[in-house]
Amino acid sequence: MSSQSVSNSTELVEKYAAGQRDFEESNLIGVFLFAAGLLEVNLKGSNLMGTNFELACLESANLSEANLIGANLKGANLKGVNLVGANLTGANLQGAELQGANLRGANLTGTNLELTNLEAANLRTANLRGAYLRGSELTGADLTSAVLLGASLDGAFLIGAKMVDTVMPDGQVSSERTFH
């Protein structure tokens, strides 16, 4: 099936229920998809600015290069999701499940990641300036060359996290390989 762009939540949910999964470059600004089940959906390059995905299941979805500025993903299941190059500036991912997610090069400036599970996530070259990571699970995450300037890591679990050439919250560059 070829990609079909959609512009509202009803159209997306109906086409998804009919078996369609490919919705690249859709324009879904500010739509309400609370607790939606969209496993393995492809929204690559879509404009999802301000969309409400609270408690949604987007496991193994492709959200690479998507605009998720100000989106609400609180408590969402994002395990194994592809967010490469996505813009999540100011998004709310509090309590989201992002185990094994690929956030390489993603913009997470000012994002709320409190109590988020990022275990084994790829955050290489991600921009986490001013992000709020209090109590987040970052065990085994790869933060190589990520920018954490001004980020809050209070109570974050960093055991086994890889931080090479990572800009730390205080501006220092980490040469440490992994946290123990």
Nearest-5° angle of CA 133, CA 109, CA 136?
15
pLDDT confidence of 2, banded at 50, 70, 90?
Answer: low
- pLDDT above 70 (res 7): yes
CATH for 49: 2.160.20.80
User: Average pLDDT, stretch 122-150?
Assistant: 98
- pLDDT above 70 (res 156): yes
What digits encode the pLDDT tens for the residues 33-61? 999 999 999 999 999 999 999 999 999 99
pLDDT at 115: 98
- pLDDT above 80 (res 177): no
Separation between Cα atoms, residue 98 and residue 136, nearest integer Å: 11
pLDDT at 63: 98
60 CB-contact burial (10 Å; exposed 0-12 / middle 13-18 / buried 19+): middle
At position 88, the amino acid (one-letter code) is L
Read off the pTM: 0.95
What digits encode the pLDDT tens for the residues 97-122? 999 999 999 999 999 999 999 999 99
Domain total in the chain: 1
User: Average pLDDT, stretch 163-176?
Assistant: 91
Separation between Cα atoms, residue 75 and residue 73, nearest integer Å: 6
Residue 15: how many other CB atoms lie within 10 Å: 16
Give the domain range for residue 163: 1-180
Separation between Cα atoms, residue 11 and residue 45, nearest integer Å: 18
pLDDT at 164: 94
Q: Round the average pLDDT of the chain to a whole number and report it.
A: 95
pLDDT at 179: 65
User: Average pLDDT, stretch 82-95?
Assistant: 98
pLDDT confidence of 175, banded at 50, 70, 90?
Answer: confident
